[in-house]
A and B are shown apart, each in its own frame.
Chain A
Amino acid sequence: MQPTESRILLIITLGTLLLITSSIFIVVFLFYFRRKQLINKQEKASLQTQFNQEILKSQIEVQNTTLQQIGQELHDNIGQLLSVAKINLNILEGTKQEEENHEYIKQTNEIIGQSIQDLRSLTKSLDGDFVQQFGLQESMTHELQRIRKTKKFETEITLTGEPYTLGYEREIILFRIFQEFLNNSLKHSEAKNIIVKLNYGLTHFNLALSDDGKGFDYEKVTTHNLLSSGAGLRNMARRCELIGAKCSLESLVGKGTFLGIEVPTRKSLNT
């Protein structure tokens, strides 16, 4: 081969290699770039979820602290005042009075006594430590008893399976969801009966809450433009997400409302 020809061949080979290398570079770059972008997107989504969870946790903590403070204030201030009023009425009851007045004093004393009982009961339900001390089932039973005392509602709580603890964090959130549901039933539903079912399964804990109230249009409430509309429902869903629970809400106008929550146990999370 002539030196000129070999030179030409070398130049063409180099040039072709250069072009092929550039093309391959672009293809390989695109492949690795897309892969990195996918990883970045996943990381960003994970960070966003973590951030939302942290925000929600903080909100719940603030709420718990606030409720605890309110409970404490009620107990210390109002509770004390009522106790003093009861003491005074006891003293008054012991003094000589006309029959009519004596009856009024006795009735007022009973009402004050009842108010003190109810206040204590309310304080307990506001206090998150109550859940920690007595557990979820006991706290729910106590709350339902408080509602039954108003004589406007009938309540029922049933338990299946061997009870176990879900951990304070999950139980307090479940309790707050339960309170939110009760709140909605008491304020809006015009229900007469509220039923609570707790099922302690091997792999999952199931909580079923239902009322026989007037129900509501679920789609309409959650897609409404007003800021406050559906906020309680969205709150419930977010809290369920926070503890890794599945939440299902069903409601139809005239058919009552049902809320089902399924919480995986630690065992099923570890497998």
Chain B
Amino acid sequence: MIYLIFDIFLYLYFATVVVAAVTATMYRRSLQYPLNWLWIYLWLNVLVELLVYALRYFKISFFWSYNAFGPIEYFFISWLYLHYYKSSLEKNIIKILFILYTLFVIYYMIYLNGFNEFHVVFVVRSMLMATLSLYFFLKIYRSDEILEINRSPLFWLSIGLFLFCTGSIFTMGLGTSIMRFNSQLGYLVNMLNPILNIYLYIMFIVSFSCSRQNPGFY
């Protein structure tokens, strides 16, 4: 029963990613830069999921695909924030963090069993993306500018990313530890993963809708 529910959530998650990718593609001409490039990231996501499904079907290790996709995902998300921040210091920090993370992933995959595990890479990426979104919240809170949150795509993306990343730190980090002691309980905790993903990609769709309402604002 648990496995059935888990499968249902997985299919729902995949459907949400596809809907988000289709939405991004349909609206890409009316979306502001760099939102109009997110369709590439979303379709790559779909491809990665299809690849993982195929590898699982043939009982081949698939964690390396998630690890390899990690830096690409981080690149797209940090690119959004890079465009938002005006200060050169902030931009440089984002660029440096991306380079460091990519090097870490390569090192992990080659030297630290990265082909058979991916939760460490995932947790590190989640921490970085949670930090980016937290910093964004701090910036908009401190700013004197009037921000219509109903029309701010990056705001809704940040809400999605923050909750997704903090949840993933639990499911991927702590949940994997539970798996060692109690595999069923670990499986239950891992069920949160697709739920968090569904939530994240719904926020993507919401952010695309916001951008269309007010194309002059990023």
B178 adjacent to A44 (CB under 8 Å): no
A37 adjacent to B181 (CB under 8 Å): no
Known: A11-B178, A26-B159. A18 touches B170 (CB 8 A): yes
Using a CB-CB cutoff of 8 Å, which residues 1-41 of chain A contact chain B? Answer: 4, 7-8, 11-12, 14-15, 18-19, 21-23, 25-26, 29, 32-33, 36-37, 40-41
- Choose, from B15-23, B92-100, B138-146, the stretch at the interface: B138-146
Known: A22-B167, A26-B163. A4 touches B146 (CB 8 A): no
Does any Cβ of A come within 8 Å of B162's Cβ?
yes
Proximity bits, B135-160, A CB within 8 Å = 1, else 0: 00100110011110100000000010
Task: Identify which of B144, B145, B163 contacts A23 (C-beta below 8 A).
Answer: B163
What's the minimum C-beta distance from A22 to chain B, rounded to whole angstroms?
4
Closest Cβ neighbor of A41 among chain B residues:
B146
Q: Which residues of B contact A36 (CB under 8 A)?
A: 141
A19 adjacent to B181 (CB under 8 Å): no
Does any Cβ of A come within 8 Å of B132's Cβ?
no
A8 adjacent to B178 (CB under 8 Å): yes
B140 adjacent to A33 (CB under 8 Å): yes
B166 adjacent to A18 (CB under 8 Å): yes
A15 adjacent to B162 (CB under 8 Å): no
Does any Cβ of A come within 8 Å of B189's Cβ?
yes
B170 adjacent to A19 (CB under 8 Å): yes
B174 adjacent to A40 (CB under 8 Å): no
B169 adjacent to A18 (CB under 8 Å): yes
CA distance A29 to B136 in the complex (A): 12
Known: A15-B170, A19-B166, A19-B167. A37 touches B146 (CB 8 A): yes
Known: A15-B189, A18-B169. A44 touches B146 (CB 8 A): yes
CA distance A21 to B163 in the complex (A): 10
Closest Cβ neighbor of A25 among chain B residues:
B162
A4 adjacent to B166 (CB under 8 Å): no
What's the minimum C-beta distance from B159 to chain A, rounded to whole angstroms?
6
Using a CB-CB cutoff of 8 Å, which residues 4-57 of chain B contact chain A? Answer: none
What's the minimum C-beta distance from A33 to chain B, rounded to whole angstroms?
6
B185 adjacent to A8 (CB under 8 Å): yes
CA distance A11 to B177 in the complex (A): 8
Task: Identify which of B144, B163, B174 contacts A22 (C-beta below 8 A).
Answer: B163
A26 adjacent to B162 (CB under 8 Å): yes
Q: Which residues of A contact B175 (CB under 8 A)?
A: 15
User: Size range of the interface on B?
Assistant: 20 to 34
What's the minimum C-beta distance from B4 to chain A, rounded to whole angstroms?
23
Q: Which residues of A contact B141 (CB under 8 A)?
A: 29, 32-33, 36
Q: Which residues of A contact B169 (CB under 8 A)?
A: 18
Closest Cβ neighbor of A16 among chain B residues:
B170
What's the minimum C-beta distance from B183 to chain A, rounded to whole angstroms?
12
CA distance A126 to B38 in the complex (A): 67
Does any Cβ of A come within 8 Å of B182's Cβ?
yes
Q: Which residues of B contact A12 (CB under 8 A)?
A: 174, 178, 185, 189
B181 adjacent to A8 (CB under 8 Å): yes
Q: Which residues of A contact B167 (CB under 8 A)?
A: 18-19, 22
A40 adjacent to B181 (CB under 8 Å): no
A37 adjacent to B174 (CB under 8 Å): no
What's the minimum C-beta distance from B165 to chain A, rounded to whole angstroms?
9
B166 adjacent to A11 (CB under 8 Å): no
Q: Which residues of B contact A19 (CB under 8 A)?
A: 166-167, 170
CA distance A18 to B168 in the complex (A): 10
A7 adjacent to B166 (CB under 8 Å): no
A22 adjacent to B185 (CB under 8 Å): no
What's the minimum C-beta distance from B123 to chain A, rounded to whole angstroms?
12
Q: Which residues of B contact A32 (CB under 8 A)?
A: 141
Q: 23 A-B residue contacts at CB 8 Å?
A: A7-B181, A8-B181, A8-B185, A11-B174, A12-B189, A15-B171, A15-B175, A18-B166, A18-B167, A18-B169, A18-B170, A19-B167, A22-B162, A23-B163, A26-B159, A26-B162, A32-B141, A33-B137, A33-B149, A37-B146, A37-B147, A40-B146, A44-B146
A-contacting residues of B (Cβ < 8 Å)?
A: 137, 140-141, 144-147, 149, 159, 162-163, 166-167, 169-171, 174-175, 177-178, 181-182, 185, 189
- Beyond A4-B181, A41-B146, 18 additional contacts (C-beta under 8 Å) are A7-B177, A8-B178, A8-B182, A11-B174, A12-B174, A12-B178, A12-B185, A14-B170, A15-B170, A18-B166, A18-B167, A22-B162, A22-B163, A23-B163, A25-B162, A26-B159, A29-B137, A29-B141
- Interface pairs A-B: 9 shortest CB-CB: A15-B170, A22-B166, A15-B174, A11-B174, A4-B181, A18-B170, A8-B181, A11-B178, A22-B163
